[in-house]
Chain A
Amino acid sequence: MTFLWGLLWGLAAVMFIAGGAVIGVWWERKVSARIQMRLGPQQIGPAGVLQMVADVPKLLFKEDIVPDNADKPIFRYAPMAVFAPIAMSVAVIPFWAGWAPLDSTVGMVFYLAFPSIGVLGILLSAWASHNTLATIGGMRAAAQMVSYEVPRSLAVLSVIILAGSLQPTEVMEAWQWWWVPLTFVGFLVYFIASIAEMNRGPFDLPEAESELVAGYFSDYSGFRWAIFMMGEYGALISASLFGAAVFLGGYRWLPGVAGLAVFLVLAMVLITAVMWIKWTFPRLRQDQLMTFCWTVLTPLAIVQVVVAGVVALWL
């Protein structure tokens, strides 16, 4: 029974991520178009909203190409290893007062841990491709994602300290509006580190289509490629939802359904902000990336933890 429920929730999570990705792609195309003074998709459906409905079947029916020299079983299943942890991370996000799909007592750690499994999937796919560009991309991804884990976790730690709990629902219950200005620096660090975690511009060095074709998924096509893409958008959605909840208060601003709406709007604002950043700034260099992580973000996060710790003494 538990297994069946789990299967159902898993399906729901996949549908949630996939649907979100479909909408996200359309929204990103629109945002990037406006930033570049274009119109974006417009032919299929009003304002092109059905563009992705047309694109998904196209991806489904494309030929599933597996390179001759690839490590075929790993090559085939690496996309799942990228996608699955991200879909699982959605489970601990507190959508409603006292309710998360998986209300774990170690939810905060769970959330920080699971997307990190994704880096393993990326490494696997890069290695299995047996391709120079993919290997470089995978290596970059590993370096980047492991590094940015540190400031990200530290930033979240500040909220955990304030709330005194690792259970997301309890963190939300303990949340006070003045935490927003208090943890603002922490939020910024979390936000920037999350962008780096999901390999988006300007931190998209692992993909770097102008240098590495598509980095670790250069050799992927058809629906396997689509799984990578959905994973990327899933990470974007998941990180935005989590940030909107634990840093910005989520549903706590208003009671009932209105609170949920505020939560989702906050998440969407974050998503749009991520896209805005991607289409505004050029890609960083590898050394700049690392310098930024260890000399700016990590110290700032530590300062935030200290501030939160001092304030927590008075709570």
Chain B
Amino acid sequence: MSLTQKIIFTLNGKPVQADAQVTASALELLRGAFELGGTKLACGEGECGACTIIVDGRSRNSCLLPAVDLDGREVLTVEGLWSEDGIDPVQQAFIDEGAIQCGFCTPGMIMQTKYLLSKNPRMTPEEIERGLEGNVCRCTGYKKIISAVAAASAVAAE
């Protein structure tokens, strides 16, 4: 027995619709029906940031967000950053700075960075560190991630 609700929203720039289970999270909907596997399930409790997406310009833990709440909203996932025009400067910065090891936290880190830069394209190192506090990485020790955000910040500020 599962109740569903029809929702219509903008996903990575394109209008989409879905029959969302009322008990499902946005994460489950994106990974399931839309096959957007870049949004990662790592804790399911809003504690690690691996499932970070941007909804109406705000960064959200998609594991805590009901899927039906996406109705009428503008949703950006990591898959929306790579287009024919090339990859996003934030993605490029993560590659160039060596900020990726196992890469499981990377999509969440990149989406959080996109959000932070949209709010403040000229972050201080302290602002970067605080902005990433909710995103756990077990591989890198964060230094190269922080460098990547700083590098992307320099690009964004231009």
- Are A and B a genuine interacting pair, yes or no? no
Interface residues of A (CB under 8 A from B): none
